[in-house]
A and B are shown apart, each in its own frame.
Chain A
Amino acid sequence: MDAGDETVIELSKVSTRFGDHVVHREIDLSVRRAEIFALIGGSGSGKSTLLREMILLHRPTSGKIKVLGNDLDALSEADASALRLRWGVMFQHGGLFGALNVRENVGLPLREHTKLSDALIDSLAEWKLTMAGLGLEVGTQFPNELSGGMMKRASLARALVLDPELLFLDEPTAGLDPVSATGVDVLVLKLRELFGLTIVMITHDLDLLWQVADRVAVLADGRVEAVGSMADLAAIDRPEVRQFFEGARGRAAQQSAAPSNRNQAGTSWKPK
C-alpha cells in the first residue's frame, strides 16, 4: 500500500435534497492522501453543501461518505469528536470568535483539547499566525479590527493549530487582493510539502486552480461533470466544463500556468 494512493475521502452515491430541490444526485468522488483537490461549479451547484457534508455539518439525504476511514453516518458521538480534531476548516468568512482576540482564537483548540501550558499555547498560536503570514502584533487584535485577508489568514492559522491531516478551505482567496491571493497559492503548496496535508478546497480562483490543484471536480446540475487535472479538463468539450476555460480570465490563467506546469509536478509528489 502506497501512502500516496490511499483514499482519505470517499463519497458514494451521495444525494441531497432540500424539500423538492435536488442539490446532489448520486455523487461519487474520492480524494487521495496528500492531494490538493478542488471543487468548482457555478453558484448554487452544491459545492458548499458537499463540503459541509464532508465535515459533519450537514447530513446527506442518502449515500455514504467515508472520511479518513470512518463512515460518517455510523459514527458515534465520541468518534465524531475525535475525527473532528483530525481536520481543520477555514470558513469563507473566517468564523473567528468576536469575543476572543486573534491569538486566543488560534489557541482555542489547543486550550480545549490538550494539556499544554498557556505560555506554550500562546507561542504555538503566534507561530501558526506567522506561518499563515500574519505579524505578531495581529495576535492581540480582535477579529473585527482585521481586514478580510487578515481574517482569512487568522482562520487558516486556527485550522492548522492541531496539525490536522485534512484541511478544508472554503473560498480561500475570495475577496483577497492579487498579492495576498498569490500568497495563499504558495502557502497551500508549502503546507502540503511540510506536513503532507490533504487539502480540499472550494474556489473560483482560476490561478489557484491552475497553479495549485492536483485534481479538480466540476459540479453542475447536481452531478460531477468531470474530474481531473486542469490540463485534463481543458480538453473536455462540454459547456459545463468549458465555461471555466473560456473568457479572458480563463485563458489568462491557463497561459500563466503553462510555462511552469507546476500542477503536473505536484501530482507526482509523494511523501517520503
Chain B
Amino acid sequence: MAQIASTSTARAFAGIMLQQASIDAAISMSADAQLRLTGDWSVRGLKSIEAQLAALNPPCSKPLTLNCAEVLAMDTAGAWLLQSLLLRLQANSVGTKIDGLKPAFAKRLEVVAAQLAAADSQRAPTTAAMRPLERLGRSAFAVWEETYALLSFVGETAKTLLQSALQPARIRWRPILFNIREAGFNALPIVGLLSFLLGVVVAYQGADQLRQYGANIFVADLVGVSMLREFAPLITAIIIAGRSGSAYAAQIGTMAVTEEIDAMRTLGIAPIEMLVLPKLIAMLIALPLLTVFADVLGILGGMLMAREQLDVGYVEFLDRLIKAIVMTTYTVGIGKAPVFALIIVLVGCFQGFRTRGGADSVGRQTTRSVVQSIFLVIVADALFSVVFSALDI
C-alpha cells in the first residue's frame, strides 16, 4: 500500500501524467460554498478550463474553500491559472482557503505566486499597432533610405573600380575567371534552350499573320529584329538575374551573418574589392557573350519554325536575314547587355550586404535582389527604347 502511494506521488511529482490519457481539468461550485477542482491541471488537461474560470462567478459574501484533493497533476501552467484565480478572488475581497492540495503542487503554487507578484510590478512594454499614416510614412522613408544606400553602394563600387584600374596588379584574375565560368559558361544550356524556344514562339505567332498577306519571307525580319534587338538581351538578363544575382545576394548575405564581412574589414581587405569587383568584371564579359549566344539560338529556333510553318527554307531565311538586319540592330541588343550586367551584379551584391540578423534575413534579401534586378532590367530596357527612338536608331 505504502509502495503504491509513493509511486503515485513520484508520478504526479514528475508530471508523468502527460503521457497517459489525461483527465480534463475542471472546476465546479458545490452547494456548501466550496470550489471543487478536479482533473489534470497540466498543459494536457487544461482545455476548457479558461472558459470555466471566466464563467465562474462566486458570491462575494463568505470565504471560499478550494477543494483541491482531486487534482491529479499540476504543472506551472496549471499553477499559474490557479494563482490567477486566487488573485481575482482576493481583488473581489473574497477570502480563500486551499484544501487538500498535494505538497508538491503547493510548492509550485508558491513559486508562481512569488513570480506573479514580481511580474505585476514590471509590465512588459506593449508595442502599439501602427496607424496607417505612420505606416505609410515609415515605408516611404524606408524606400528613400534604400535608394540612398543603393546609390552610395554604386558610388563606392565605382570608386573601388577606378582604384583597381589605376593599379591593375591588384585585380584578382582568378575569381574573375571563376565567375565567368560560373555565371557565363555554366548558364549556356539554360540560356540557349530558352532563347531557342522564344525564337520558335515568335516565328509561330507571326506565321499566321504573315501567311494571310503571303508575306512568308518576312518572318526573317520579324525573328531577326525582335530577337536581336529585344528578346535575346532581355531573356538572358532575366535568367542571369534569377540564376546568379540571387546567388550573389545569398553568398554575401550569409557571409554578413557569419561575420565574415566584418572579419574581412578588420583584416584590412575591402569587401567590395574582394567580393564585388570580380563578379562585376566577370559579368560585364559574360553577359554580352551570353546575349550573342542567345541571338544565335533564337534565330535558329525561328528558322526551324519558318520552315515547318511557312515553307521558308534555311537558305532563303538566312539570305533575307542578312538584308533585313542592319548592324545597329545587332549592336543595340549587345550594347544593352553590359548595362543589364551592372544592374544584376550591383543589386545582387547590394542586397547581400544589407543582410542583418539570421537565416530569415538572407532569404528575404535574396528575394528582394531578384525582384529588384528584374524590375530594374525591364525599366532600363524601356528607357533604352525611348532613347533609341528619340535618336532614331
Contacts and interface: CB of A to CB of B under 8 A. Distances in A.
Contact of B357 (A33, A98, A124, A272): A98
B80 to A, nearest CB: 6
Interface stretch (B13-21, B205-213, B274-282, B307-315): B13-21
28 contacts: A3-B6, A3-B7, A3-B10, A33-B10, A86-B18, A98-B358, A98-B360, A99-B360, A113-B43, A114-B43, A115-B46, A116-B43, A116-B46, A116-B50, A120-B81, A123-B80, A127-B80, A127-B112, A135-B122, A136-B122, A136-B125, A137-B124, A144-B357, A162-B43, A165-B14, A194-B108, A196-B14, A271-B104
Residue among B3, B18, B81 facing the most chain A CB atoms (10 A cut-off): B18
Among B76, B116, B356, chain A packs the most CB atoms within 10 A around the CB of B76
Interface in A159-213: 162-163, 165, 194-196
Of all A-B residue pairs in the complex, the 10 with the closest CB atoms, nearest first, are A3-B10, A98-B358, A144-B357, A163-B75, A136-B124, A98-B360, A114-B43, A99-B360, A165-B14, A115-B47
Interface string B61-100: 0000000000000011100110000000000000000000
Interface in A19-70: 33, 68
Contacts of A113: 43
Contact of A3 (B9, B43, B125, B360): B9
Contacts of A83: 19
A85 B46 CA distance: 16
Contacts of B116: 127
Instruction: Tell which of A98, A117, A130, A163 has the most Cβ of chain B within 10 Å.
Output: A163
A194 B43 CA distance: 18
The size bracket of the interface on B is: 35 or more
B119 A136 contact: yes
Nearest to B76: A163
Contacts of A85: 18
Contact of B6 (A2, A128, A162): A2
Contacts of A130: 115, 118-119
Contacts of B43: 110, 113-114, 116, 162-163
B361 interface: yes
Which of B10, B112, B122, B357: most chain A CB closer than 10 A?
B10
A142 B358 CA distance: 10
Interface string A111-142: 00111110010011011101100011101101
Contact of A140 (B42, B108, B127): B127
Contacts, number: 108
A6 interface: yes
A235 interface: no
B14 A139 contact: no
B80 A124 contact: yes
B356 A144 contact: yes
Contacts of A272: 9, 103-104
A82 interface: yes
Contacts of A142: 357
Interface residues of A, number: 43
Interface string B345-372: 0000000000011111100000000000
B13 A196 contact: yes
Interface of A: 1-3, 6, 33, 68, 82-83, 85-86, 98-99, 110, 113-117, 120, 123-124, 126-128, 130-131, 135-137, 139-140, 142-145, 162-163, 165, 194-196, 271-272
A1 B7 contact: yes
A199 to B, nearest CB: 13
Which of A6, A85, A98 has most B Cβ within 10 Å? A98
Nearest to A6: B10
A1 B7 CA distance: 7
Interface in B27-64: 42-44, 46-47, 50
Contacts of A6: 10
Contact of A126 (B13, B47, B124): B124
A196 B16 CA distance: 12
Interface string B245-281: 0000000000000000000000000000000000000
Contacts of B3: 1
A145 B361 CA distance: 13
A239 to B, nearest CB: 37
Contact of B107 (A114, A165, A194): A194
Contacts of B19: 68, 82-83, 86
Contact of B15 (A128, A136, A163): A163
Given A85-B18, A126-B119, A194 B111 contact: yes
A142 to B, nearest CB: 7
A228 B71 CA distance: 38
A117 B51 CA distance: 10
B123 interface: yes
Contact of B14 (A33, A114, A162): A33
Nearest to B358: A98
Interface string B330-358: 00000000000000000000000000111
A126 B126 CA distance: 13
A124 B77 contact: yes
Given A124-B77, A127-B115, A114 B18 contact: no
